Amino acid sequence: MQFKRYGIYYTPEPGALTAFGAAWLGWDLDTGTAVAHPNVMGLPLTVSDITATPRKYGLHGTIKPPFFLADGTDATGLNAALATFCAAQRQVSMKGLVLARLGGFLALKIDGDQTPLANVASACVRELDAFRAPPSEAELARRRKAGLSEVQEALLMHWGYPYVMEEFRFHITLSGRLGEHADATRVALEPHVVPHLPRPFVVSGLTLVGEDEAGMFHTIQRHTFSA
């Protein structure tokens, strides 16, 4: 399959959280197929409406945000470079994950200190940046609509994305912006997702993903931290 953009994600190992997350979002990264939504009682909106924005990305935490390949690079080289990077990393362990409201959307975030994973993410962004093409003016304009700080603007210009390095905040997105419906959605979702949240939260590898022509993301290959 041909892909137009590539990204580096944390994706959970196969299990209950991965299965529920694929159904909740309606997209399975590993199989590259749509999945029927679960029946979750008490939601203020349909699952399809709640998850419309994050669906195409699948269940993931962004490590290196999606990018177009730079001239002179290819997906084979990127995959090999990620394999080399992961071979030099040790798995990192944190307290756990929690379901939380982040602004107007819902996500799983790290409970406690994210520094061990933030360090890996920063190294990944830095060491694989030669594969990233510079963002277009349209991409820059779209990012700036969020109202970036001076630090975020500098990161955007240097790394092509404003929420990396010191601005990195790991999260696994579960909804689009919900506004007044966010709290009710969280209450309804909690009993379905909280029992599956890992404690501790261990990251033992990273996943190369690709975006197809329809805008949906697919797993290309998982790489294990093996230092």
Per-residue pLDDT of the chain (227 residues; tens, 9 = 90+): 899 999 999 999 999 999 999 999 999 999 999 999 999 999 999 999 999 999 999 999 999 999 999 999 999 999 999 999 999 999 999 999 999 999 899 999 999 999 999 999 999 999 999 999 999 999 999 999 989 999 999 999 999 999 999 999 999 999 999 999 999 999 999 999 999 999 999 999 999 999 999 999 999 999 999 98
Tokens matching residue 106:
């819902």
- pLDDT for 170: 98
pTM: 0.95
Contacts of 172 (CB under 8 A, 6+ apart): 10, 21, 59, 60, 61, 97, 107, 108, 109
- pLDDT for 103: 86
